[in-house]
Structure 1
Amino acid sequence: MSIEKTELVVRTIADTAIGNEKYFGDLDSVVGDGDFGYSLARGFEKLLEGWDDLDRTDSGTFLKRTGMVIASRIGGTSGPIWGTAFMRAGGAAGGASELSTEQVVAMLRAAVDGIKARGQSDVGDKTLLDALVPFTDSLEATSDIHAAAAAARKAADATSDMVAKRGRAAYTGERSRGSVDAGAMAVAVLAERISEIWPTQGASS
């Protein structure tokens, strides 16, 4: 995966987060405070405002700069968590000019570890990890972005059966059961959009 493809992925994430502001917010309002979609959209808007000025020395640097903007511009707990994910992924990418699928998986693992540490959370706590980890596992096993996106969607849907253990939703206890986690669903929606645009670029990895 080249710097151009890394840019494509980040741009797609930004555009999709902005385009789904209301949907993500509505999901969050069921048991959360409803600001997830708004916060995510405003943060990625700030990223796009300074898009041309981001350091594109290599994919790792680009992702780290992206993470720094997100961490400082997305409100609430989402900023540090999503920012950490991008920065950890960038750190794992290093200065490589081309990224293999194995390296992309390593970057995702680094992002997952960063989220776990920052959010003091793990798989099963009803957070974005419940979609991001299955996505990563599937990508590692199949090297197929479509299969990985499908795994993320299935896992995000399954969060409706969980009781939230982190975030504002955790205060609602059993009431959090019966609705999907907004963060997990956001990961699924983003993964699906990336899988849709990826083949059009004639890219493998």
Structure 2
Amino acid sequence: MAPYRNDMDDVMEFVARWRSPHSGRPSGYYRLARSRFGNVNATGEPAAYSAPDLTPHDAQWLQCIEEGVRPLVRAAVGRGWVTYNSCAGHVYAELPLRPACREIGVLPVDDDVADDVRETLVRLARTVEDGQRLPAAVDLQVWRNGLRCLASGRTFDVYDVVLAPAAGRSVDDYFQAVGDATATIASMLATTHRPT
């Protein structure tokens, strides 16, 4: 997975807009472009991470989510989670770039949501490890990360849910299987018990 800067212009403003369509800056039209490898971002360049921070209230929200990762995003949002980034995964044929994995980034917005995110992802990882297997070419990885807010300088805890190539498996094997793995994880997220 290629390294990238994990930052956002204004995290709290983004969360306010996510919670209410009437908070923060008004929704507008944002330039989105698609690379020949399937990347959706502001420039249409492969492996570029420049894209507007959209919420489900924005008309272009679904348009800016790459097709392959949409089931994971929908399942996470259905739990009441905020997703701050996503990637369907890409192979950059003929370019000196490493393949990108399929993943979503989750930003817990308060302590209750943070507890649900942690507990759900731990259960999910254990369930996968203990028997409800993903395709052999795909591993589930959960990483705790930091999201830096450029407006405040504060770093927020976030969780990256990554479907990565399993050890010893080829990139071709991975991309043939990652769709089935996506459906499995999305279904598990949607059906895992939510706290009341």
TM over 0.5: no
| Rg larger in structure | 2
More helix per residue: 1 or 2?
A: 1
Normalised by the length of structure 2, the TM-score is 0.31
